[in-house]
Structure 1
Amino acid sequence: MANLLNLEHVSKSYGLRPLLKDVSLGINIGDRVGIVGRNGDGKTTLLQVMTGLEAPDEGRVSQQRGLLMGFLHQRDRLHDTHTVREAVLAGRSDHEWAADVRTREVVEVLLAGVSLDRVVDGLSGGERRRCALAHLLLGDHDLIVLDEPTNHLDVEAVAWLADHLAKRSCALIVVTHDRWFLDAVCQFTWEVHDGVVDVYEGGYAAFVLAKAERGRQSAASEQRRQNLARKELAWLRRGAPARTSKPKFRIDAANALIEDVPPPRDRFELQKFATQRLGKDVIDVEDVDVFRGDKQILSRATWRLGPGDRVGIVGVNGAGKTSLLSVLDGTLGPKVGKVKHGRTIAIQHLTQHLDDLDPEARVLPMVDGVRRITKTADGQELTATSMLERFGFTGDKLMTRIGDLSGGERRRLQLLMLLLTEPNVLLLDEPTNDLDIETLTVLEDFLDGWPGTLIVVTHDRYFLERVTDTVWALMGDGKITMLPRGVDEYLEKRAAGTVTKAAQPVAASPASAPKVSAAEEREAKKVVARVEKQLEKIAAREAEVHAEMEANAADYALLARLGATLNELATEREDLEMEWLEAAELLS
C-alpha cells in the first residue's frame, strides 16, 4: 500500500523536555489513525512535526510527492474581515454550492443558523470552529489532519462528522479526547507518552483491551492505573460489546482480567447511600416557564430529580442546556412556576468558565484552603496532595502559579476543588472540555463511587454513557423529554424531525433564470433523479470497500486492489456530480 507520510527516527524537545524520542511511524493510503495521550505529552507536537509545521531536532520526515493535506488546527486561521461565504465557500453563490451534493450537506449541517454574509469577526468561538471545519471538509485531500475536531460540536454534529469521515476515501489523523468518535472513525490508535508513540490496532475500545493485555503480560504499570484500565475494560466489554466485535488481537487473556471485576458502580447501593445523605426530595421543577432574554427555553415544564439520579442532558447548541443548569442551581429564576430544593442539598455547579481562579495563587495552598482531607464513599481518607496526584498534579506542579497552568490543567484544578467541597448534588456543564483521556478516566472512577445526584451536560457521548443512567433532551418544544434508549433515540428523533437550517439554497431570480422548455425541464428532472440514485449506489459501494479494507488490514495485495477500486468509484462519482450539476442548473 502506498505510503503518504513517513517519520524516521524523529526526536523533538522543548527546552530540556523531550516530547518525541527516536520515533518512526508511517501513514498509508486510507489509514485512519487516532492519537491519544495526556495533555502536554506531545500530541499536537507530533502533528506539527508530521505536517512540516515544526522541524524535528533529529531524524527525517518525508511526504509523498504532491501530497494534498488539510489541517484543522485548534485555533482557526480565518480572516476576520472575510464573510462566511468568502472564508468557507471562496465566494461562491448559493446556486453554485447548493448544486454539489457534498458541499450542500457540509454547509447545511455545519453552518446551520449562520448567515453566509456575516463577517467572521462577529462569530462566536463555536461558529468560527464550524466554519474552519466546513472549509477543510469542502477541499479535496489525500490526508486530513484534525486537532480536536469535536470541540464546540453538539452530539448530533459529532455523529454526522463521524459518518461523513467514514465515507471519505482519504487518510485521516485525528487528535481528540472524544472516545466515542475514536471508536467510530479510527482503525489504529497511537498513544503518545514519555517521548514514545505506541501503536495499537483498532479504535478506543480495542486500544483499552490491547493496553490491558500488554499490562497483564509485562506487569510494568503501577497498580492504580491497572485498576482503572480493568474497570473501564469491564464496562466496555459488558456495556458496549459491539464496540469490540472486530478486534484484530487476542482478547481471551484480556477478558481474564475482568472475570471477577464487578460493574463500575453499584447503582442501587449508591442510591441508598444518597437517600441517607439527601432525603427523598432533591430538586423539583414544577410547571415552569423559563426565558433567556427573549428566547423561551421551557414552557410549563415539570421535572423531578431524586437522590442518586445520574442524568445526562442533550440538545443542539442554543437549545438551553446551560440555562437549564442555571434554573436547577437557582441562579436563573422561572417566569412562571417554581423550583424547589430539598432542605439538605449542597449544590456545586461546574460551569464552562475558568475565570473564577486567582491567577496569582499556588496550586497546593489553594487546594489546602478548601479541604486538607476528604473522604470517599467507602470511608477512605484522602489528603489534598493525594487528590492532586490523582488529577495529575505532582512535583513542581504543586507550587505552580495558577496563571501559568494550561487550560486543561486549570480545568482539572477547578473540578478537583469543586469535588473537595463534598457536594451531594453536582451540575457539570461540558466537564470534558480540555481534559485528556487519562484525566477523564480518573474523573469517571471518582464519580463511580460518588453517592449523590449528578446532572451532566456534555457533547462527549462516551462520557455521557459512562457516568449517567438516564438521558433527557431539550427538543425545542419547551419540555424536558426522557429518552429510554439514550443518545441513539435522540439522534433518531432529530433526524425524523424538522431541522431549521439558516443556509438554504436561494433560487435564481426570474430575470436571471435560464429559459428552458417544458420538455427540457422534464428531461432535467429525470436526469437529477437518475443520477442521485446512482450516487447513492456509489456511496454504498464505497462503504463496502472501506469495510473490506478494514477487515483485511494485513493483506497488502488486496488493499492495493481495493484502493484502485476506490479511485475508480471516485472518478465515476465526479462525472455523475458534473452531470447532476448541469441538469440542476437548468432547473434553477
Structure 2
Amino acid sequence: MAHLLGGENLTVSFATRTVLDGITIGLEEGDRIGMVGRNGDGKSTLMRLLAMRASPDSGRVTKRSEVNTGYLDQSDVLDGDLTVGEAIVGDKADYEWAANPQIREVMGGLVSDVDWHANVHALSGGQKRRVALAKLLIEDHDVIMLDEPTNHLDVEGVAWLSRHLKTRWRANQGAFLVVTHDRWFLDEVCNRTWEIHDGIVDPFDGGYASYVLARAERDRSASVVESKRQQLVKKELAWLRRGAPARTAKPKFRIEAANALIADVPEPRDSMALSKMATARLGKDVLDLENVSLDFLGGDAGQKLFDNITLRLAPGERLGLVGVNGAGKTTLLKLLNGEIEPSSGKVKRGKTVVTAVLTQEVKELDDVADLRVIEVIEREKRSFNVGGKEFTAGQLVEQLGFTNQKQWTQVKDLSGGERRRLQLLRLLVGEPNVLMLDEPTNDLDTDTLAAVEDVLDGWPGTLVVVSHDRYLLERVTDHQMALLGDGKIRGLPGGVDQYLELRESALAGSTITGGGNPVTGASGSSTPAAEGPSEAQKRDARKAKNRIDRQLGKLKQQEDKIHAQMTAGAGDAGKFDELAGLNKKLLDLAGERETLEVEWLDALEVLGE
C-alpha cells in the first residue's frame, strides 16, 4: 500500500505538559483509522498537525505532493453570511453539480431538510454541522480527516455517514482519520485504531471491539495492572460478547479469547435484583402518559407534536428513545418531568417518584462555578450506595474520572466533558428514582462513557435515555421506542436497526425537496418485491456453507498451532523476530477467517437459516 502522509518525531507541549512526545505515525492507502483517548490527550491536536493546520514544536509532517487532504474541524468555520447553497457548492449553477451522482447522494443524505436559500447564521448548530460536512464530502479528496463528525447527527445521519465512508473509495484506495466518541461508528467504519495516551500513540488492528480486546491483552501480557481501567475494559468486553447478534459475527478466535478473559465478569445488570430494588423505592406506579396530545409549542391550533399517545414506565424499566430531529424527544422528557402540561390526556405520577433530568445544556452548574468538584458532591452527601456498595464522595467522583488533583479543581475551570460528568454525578447523588438523560454522550470520550455506563449498570431506578449513540442505547437500555415525526410513538422490538428500516421505508420513493433544496430523490415508480431464492441458489448456498465450514475448521487448527508456538516462545527475548512473524501469520489467518465468515453468513441468508 502506498504511503499518503505522515508525521516524524512530532512533539507538542502546552505550558508544562507535553501532549505529544516524539510521535512517528503515518497513513497509507486503504487506511480507515479511528482515534480514541481521553479528552485532552491530544487527538484533535494530532489531527490538526497531520492536516497541516498547526505546526509542531519539533518534528515534521510530510505528504506525497499530489495528495489532496480534506479536514472537518470541531468548530464552526462557515461564513454565516452565505446561503446554504453558496456555502456548499459556491457559485456553481445547479446543472454544473447536479449531474454528479456522488454529490446528489451527499446532498440527499445530509441536507435534504435544510433550506437551500437560508443564510448559514440562521441555522441550528446541527444544521451548520451537516452543511460543513456536506461541503467537505462533495469535494474530491485522497485523505479525509473528521473531528467529531457525528456531533449533532441523529441515528439516521450517523448510519448514512457510515455507509458513505465505507463505499466512498475502493478497498485499497483513499484513507480517512476520524475522532469520535461514537463506538458503534468506530466499529462500523474503521479497520485500524490509534489510542492516544500519555504523549504516545498505540496502533491497533480493527475497530473499537478489536481495540478493546487487544488493549486488555496488551495490559495483561505486559503485567501492567491498572485495576480500575482494566475492570472497565473487561465489562466492555462482556457487553461486546453478550450484546447484539450482529456483534457476535466477529472472528471466532477473538470470541474465544474474549470468553477466556471475561469468564469471571458478571452480567452487566442483574435485571431481577434491580427490578426488586427499584420497586421497593418506587412502588408500582411510576410515570404514565395516557392518551396524551400536545400541540406544537407556539404553533397553530390543530398542529400536533403528539397525537393521543400512551406510554407507561415500570419500576426499573430502561427505555431508549430515538427519532428524527424535531419529533419531540426532548419535549417528551419535559412532559414526563412535569415541566409542561399536555393539550389533552393525563400524566400520572407515582407518589414516591423523584425525577432528575440531564439536559443538553450545562447551565445547571452555573450556581456552583466557584466551588471545587469534591465540594459540589459533598454538599449533597458524604457517602453513597451504588449497586449495593458504599462509596465515599471522593471514591464516587474518582470512579467517573476525576483524579485526586481534578477533584480540587474549580467547576468554572473544567472542560466541557468534565462539566458533563459532574452534571451527571450531581444528579445521581441526589438519589432520584427516575433518571432521564438527554443526549448524555455529548463531550465525553470513550473511556469516560464506559465509566458512566458502569455506574448506570448498578443504578436501580427507572431510566429513560434520548441519544443518537447506538452503542450507548444498546448498552444501558433494555428496549427502545421511536418518534418518527408523525405524532405517534412506536415500540422497536428489533432495536435501532428496525428504526432505520422504518425510516428508510417512509422515505422510499419520496421526492427530497425539504426547504427548497434542488436535489431530488428517486422517482415514484414502484418495484415489485424481490422473489425468494430459487432451489438452485439454495443448493449452491448449501454447498458453499459446507465448504466454508471445512475451511474454517482447517484455519482453527492452524491458529491453534501458532498460538502454541507463541506460548512456547513467550519468555525468550531472543525470539522476538520469530514471535513477530508468527503474529503476522495469525493476523493473515484472521483476515482470511473474517472473509470466510462473511461468505458463510451470506450463504445462511440465502438458506433462510
SS in 2 for 1:357: helix
1:293 corresponds to which residue? 298
Paired amino acid for 2:502: K
Paired amino acid for 2:118: R
1:502 corresponds to which residue? 514
Paired amino acid for 2:298: G
Paired amino acid for 1:293: G
2:407 corresponds to which residue? 398
SS in 2 for 1:356: helix
Q: After TM superposition, list the pairs within 5 Å mapping 1:120-135 onto structure 2.
A: 120-135=120-135
State how far apart, in whole Å, the 1-side matches of 2:280 and 2:211 are.
39
State how far apart, in whole Å, the 1-side matches of 2:276 and 2:119 are.
54
- Cα-to-partner distance string for 1:191-231 (whole Å, 9 max, x where unaligned): 10111111110000111111111122123132222111111
Q: Displacement, 1:506?
A: 4.9
1:351 has 2:359 as partner: yes
SS in 1 for 2:9: strand
1:440 has 2:449 as partner: yes
2:536 corresponds to which residue? none
Paired amino acid for 1:426: L
Q: Displacement, 1:268?
A: 2.0
Comparing 84-93 and 346-355, the one that deviates more = 84-93
Which aligned runs of 4 or more in structure 1 are off by greater than 6 angstroms?
Answer: 551-555
Of the three residues 172, 178, 184, the one matched with 1:180 is 184
Contact 2:334/2:340, CA 8 A, preserved across alignment: yes
Q: TM-score, normalised by structure 2?
A: 0.81
1:216 has 2:220 as partner: yes
1:91 has 2:91 as partner: yes
- Cα-to-partner distance string for 1:312-362 (whole Å, 9 max, x where unaligned): 000011111000000000001101011011011110000001112133232
1:485 has 2:494 as partner: yes
Structure 1 residues 368 and 290, CA gap change in structure 2 (3 angstroms): same
1:565 corresponds to which residue? none
State how far apart, in whole Å, the 1-side matches of 2:92 and 2:338 are.
47
How many residue pairs end up in the alignment?
516
Structure 1 residues 241 and 27, CA gap change in structure 2 (3 angstroms): farther
1:579 corresponds to which residue? none
Contact 1:288/1:302, CA 8 A, preserved across alignment: yes
State how far apart, in whole Å, the 2-side matches of 1:79 and 1:24 are.
35
Contact 1:81/1:119, CA 8 A, preserved across alignment: yes
Structure 1 residues 372 and 240, CA gap change in structure 2 (3 angstroms): same
State how far apart, in whole Å, the 1-side matches of 2:96 and 2:54 are.
37
Contact 2:291/2:309, CA 8 A, preserved across alignment: yes
Comparing 418-427 and 232-241, the one that deviates more = 232-241
Q: Displacement, 1:477?
A: 2.2
Gaps of 5+ in 2: 524-583, 592-609
State how far apart, in whole Å, the 1-side matches of 2:505 and 2:255 are.
39
Of the three residues 228, 241, 247, the one matched with 1:243 is 247
1:12 has 2:24 as partner: no
Of the three residues 326, 332, 338, the one matched with 2:340 is 332
Q: Displacement, 1:242?
A: 3.8
State how far apart, in whole Å, the 1-side matches of 2:72 and 2:190 are.
17
1:279 has 2:279 as partner: no
State how far apart, in whole Å, the 2-side matches of 1:139 and 1:553 are.
38
Structure 1 residues 300 and 50, CA gap change in structure 2 (3 angstroms): same
1:268 has 2:272 as partner: yes
Structure 1 residues 99 and 552, CA gap change in structure 2 (3 angstroms): farther
State how far apart, in whole Å, the 1-side matches of 2:346 and 2:92 are.
50
Contact 2:104/2:519, CA 8 A, preserved across alignment: no
State how far apart, in whole Å, the 2-side matches of 1:128 and 1:298 are.
27
2:60 corresponds to which residue? 60
Q: Displacement, 1:386?
A: 1.2
Gaps of 5+ in 1: 509-524, 526-550, 559-588
Q: After TM superposition, list the pairs within 5 Å mapping 1:464-543 onto structure 2.
A: 464-498=473-507, 501-502=513-514, 506=518
Contact 2:436/2:465, CA 8 A, preserved across alignment: yes
State how far apart, in whole Å, the 1-side matches of 2:232 and 2:476 are.
14
Q: TM-score, normalised by structure 1?
A: 0.84
Q: Displacement, 1:113?
A: 2.0
CA RMSD of aligned residues (A): 2.4
1:388 has 2:392 as partner: no
Structure 1 residues 115 and 437, CA gap change in structure 2 (3 angstroms): same
- Cα-to-partner distance string for 1:158-189 (whole Å, 9 max, x where unaligned): 00000000001220000000000001100000
State how far apart, in whole Å, the 2-side matches of 1:484 and 1:289 are.
24
1:561 corresponds to which residue? none
Comparing 119-128 and 252-261, the one that deviates more = 252-261
1:369 corresponds to which residue? 379
State how far apart, in whole Å, the 1-side matches of 2:252 and 2:69 are.
29
Contact 1:206/1:244, CA 8 A, preserved across alignment: no
1:205 corresponds to which residue? 209
SS in 2 for 1:459: coil
Contact 1:183/1:243, CA 8 A, preserved across alignment: no
State how far apart, in whole Å, the 2-side matches of 1:194 and 1:108 are.
41
State how far apart, in whole Å, the 2-side matches of 1:171 and 1:4 are.
8
SS in 2 for 1:497: helix
Q: Displacement, 1:507?
A: 10
1:139 corresponds to which residue? 139
Paired amino acid for 2:209: A
Contact 1:145/1:174, CA 8 A, preserved across alignment: yes
Structure 1 residues 426 and 24, CA gap change in structure 2 (3 angstroms): same
Q: Displacement, 1:305?
A: 0.5
Structure 1 residues 362 and 505, CA gap change in structure 2 (3 angstroms): closer
Q: Displacement, 1:296?
A: 2.2
Structure 1 residues 132 and 552, CA gap change in structure 2 (3 angstroms): farther
- Cα-to-partner distance string for 1:375-410 (whole Å, 9 max, x where unaligned): 1121x2111111111122223322222222111111
SS in 1 for 2:342: coil
Structure 1 residues 507 and 300, CA gap change in structure 2 (3 angstroms): closer
Contact 2:98/2:519, CA 8 A, preserved across alignment: no
Structure 1 residues 106 and 196, CA gap change in structure 2 (3 angstroms): same
- Cα-to-partner distance string for 1:488-511 (whole Å, 9 max, x where unaligned): 000000000136641566599xxx
SS in 1 for 2:364: coil
Q: After TM superposition, list the pairs within 5 Å mapping 1:37-48 onto structure 2.
A: 37-48=37-48
2:551 corresponds to which residue? none
1:315 has 2:327 as partner: no
Q: Displacement, 1:50?
A: 1.3
Contact 1:82/1:119, CA 8 A, preserved across alignment: yes
